[in-house]
Amino acid sequence: MGLLPEKVLNEWVIIMAPRSTTSPLILKKGDITPFIKKLTHILTVYGPVAKKTQFVFDEISEGSQLRLDYDTTILPPKKYFIPPQEEMVRFSLSPQLNITSPLEESEEATLWNGKRFVIVGIHSCDLAAIKFHDKILTQVYPDPYRTHRRERGIIIGLNCLTPCEESFCKSTMTLSSTEGADLMLTELHDSYYVDVLTETGQLVIDYTKSLFSSASKEQSKSVEQLLTSREDTFPDLIPEFEKLPERLQVGYEGEMWARLGNRCFGCGACTLVCPTCFCFDVKDRVELDLNQGSRVRNWDSCQLVDFALVAGGHNFRPTIPSRVRFRIYHKFWIEPEQIQVIGCVGCGRCTRTCPADIDMIELLTDIQEGGT
């Protein structure tokens, strides 16, 4: 290309990157630290790090912080594309009213100064969720805020080799998702086997070239075996998962929603940790000087009481059962109707988070068995 990879990386529209044809590479585990170091020179680097007994995605400055042995994280990496809180516009309340949007700034501006970033170590379930958002949030108008971030985020995926608790990714067929990743890592003894999936991934390799060597045929074979063997090690906890939308055709008036509603606290935690949930609320925030302010969008939850409340006091989903039912129908019936993809990637975060111990596997199995 003639240009330095770092220059290109800073102008490249990542979401449009064409597929790469490069053969697989090897990155020694010991070289992770210099790899991350080099990336931090031009990009913000995010990855899984330990937080007490759990893991979270966070910014990292040292390779040693990176915990690629993580099982799952509290929040999915969606927070880097759809932040929990983000300013949509800033305004000043002069009589003429001045409104500035981060989307209208100059070419090099990145959404209120956000740097380009790379997320290292995203598991397949979360990759599938990112692709899901690419689709669901562009149905009529693309969500410009998310698109802006998506175009600037490089993704380095990581193949899962052991199932984590509460997950059912084999049933959701997201166990082997790699789409959306620019590089895909697989742990192989003392190294990472690296599939270069896109031209963006190739740019990252070009930029950090000296750290990678070519993978041998034996290594490729080992990885292939490793990935195939997952078919046996990962259980299919919800057989015929793809039939859920069909099964939900009946049972809308069933008693299971009242039963579930009685257990559910309506706290909305399940939706906050969900990698595919994307609902938001919008609020205006005014500075103390009462002259400046911003319009902020926040993650919202369909489980909260005012989600479907309209002016005048009518609430279209006033009870917890009606809201629990909405969440299930949204993911397993509405979204498949809209974009032909079920809105669940089997990560199990909702089950792990639920204070009322509502188990997604149990719940979906109930529906599969025609429970009402």
Query: Rule CB under 8 A: which residues touch other proteins?
Result: 13, 15-16, 88-89, 91, 93, 95-97, 99, 101, 103-104, 131, 134-135, 137-145, 147-148, 151, 252, 278-284, 286, 290, 293, 295, 297, 300, 302, 307-312, 314, 316, 329-330, 333-334, 337-338
Q: Which is nearer to other proteins, 210 or 340 (CB)?
A: 340
Q: Which is nearer to other proteins, 62 or 284 (CB)?
A: 284
Q: Which is nearer to other proteins, 162 or 249 (CB)?
A: 249
Shortest Å, Cβ 345 to other proteins: 17
Shortest Å, Cβ 278 to other proteins: 7
Shortest Å, Cβ 109 to other proteins: 12
Rounded Cα–Cα distance for residues 21 and 188 (Å) = 22
Q: Which is nearer to other proteins, 17 or 194 (CB)?
A: 17
Q: Which is nearer to other proteins, 189 or 283 (CB)?
A: 283
Shortest Å, Cβ 104 to other proteins: 8
Shortest Å, Cβ 135 to other proteins: 7
Q: Which is nearer to other proteins, 3 or 99 (CB)?
A: 99
Shortest Å, Cβ 125 to other proteins: 19
Shortest Å, Cβ 51 to other proteins: 29
Q: Which is nearer to other proteins, 107 or 165 (CB)?
A: 107
